[in-house]
Amino acid sequence: MLRIECPWCGVRDETEFRYRGDASRSPPAATASLAEFCAQTYTRENPRGWHLEWWLHVGGCRKLLKVVRHTDTHEIHAVGHPHEALAVPMETRAP
């Protein structure tokens, strides 16, 4: 079970959060093409490695968090506000 350190509430169990998907893509501009919208909505990298993702703290402060998580080891490198630029480690595998 993941334990996520919410910047507002402290360390909380995964069961308090709702996963909201890949946070690495910003929504397309209103003027973007249909192809760009399709890519943004459906195409995912599915990496084995570091992954930037959204978690909504529905069982707590109801704030949206941006999380850098390793999909293999589940290590969480950083948790931040939705518009914080979080550094994603370069290596594909956690140590």
Partner 1 sequence: MNGPSRIAAGLWTSADEPVDFRFDGRALRGLRGDTLASALLANGVQLVGRSFKYHRPRGIVTAGAEEPCALVDVLRPGGREPNRPATTLPLQEGLIAESQNRWPSLRFDVRSIGNLAARFLPAGFYYKTFMAPGWAWERLYEPLIRRAAGLGRLDAAASDHAAPAETVHDHTDVLIVGAGAAGLAAAYALGRAGARVMLLEQDAGFGGGTLLDRRWQAWRETQSTVLAGLGNVRCLPRSCVVGAYGHGVYAALEGLTPGESALFRGLRERLHIIRARRVLLATGAIERLIAFPGNDLPGVMLAGAALAYLRRYGVTVGQRPACFVNSDEAYQTVFEFAAAGIDCAGVIDVRPESKAADCARALGIRVHSGAQVERVEGVHSVRRVRIARLAGGVGTLEADSLLMSGGYSPATALASHLGAHHNWLESIGAFAPLLDPRIGRVAGAARGCYGLAAAALDGAAAAAAMAAELGLATGPVLPAGDLPVDPDQTPMVPLWEVRGRGKAFVDLQNDVTTEDVRLAHREGYEHVEHMKRYTTHGMATDQGRIGGLVGSAVLAQARGLPVSEVGLPKARPYVQPLPFAALAGPETGLHFKPRRRLPLHDWHEAAGARFVSIGLWLRPLVYAPESEWEGVLREARAVRQSVGITDVSSLGKIDVQGPDAARFLDYMYANRFSTLPAGRARYGLMLREDGMLLDDGTTSRLGSDHFLITTTTANSGVVLEHMEFQQQAVCPHLDVLLSDVSDQWAQFAIAGPRSREVVAAVVSGLDLSNAAFPFMAASGATLAGVAGRVFRISFSGELAFELAVPAAHAMKVWSALLAAGKAFGIAPYGLDALNTLRIEKGHVTGAELNGNTTADDLGMQRMLKTTGDYVGRMLAQRPGLRSPERLQLVGLRPIDRSQRLRNGAQLIVPDAESRSLGYITSSTPSVELEGWVGLALLAGGRARTGQRLIATSPIHGERTEVGILSPHLIDPENARVRA
Answer yes or no whether residue 1 interacts with partner 1 by CB under 8 A: yes
User: Nearer to partner 1 by C-beta: 42 or 90?
Assistant: 42
Tokens of 56: 């909504």
Cα 92 to Cα 50, 69, 70, distances in angstroms: 6, 11, 9
Closest listed residue to residue 39, CA positions, set 53, 26, 20, 52: 26
**Least separation, in Å, of the C-beta of 39 and partner 1?**
11
Counted residue by residue, the chain has a size of 95
Residues that bind partner 1 (CB under 8 A): 1-3, 13, 18, 20, 23, 27-28, 30, 32, 34, 37-38, 41-42, 54, 56, 58, 62-64, 72-74, 76, 82-83, 95
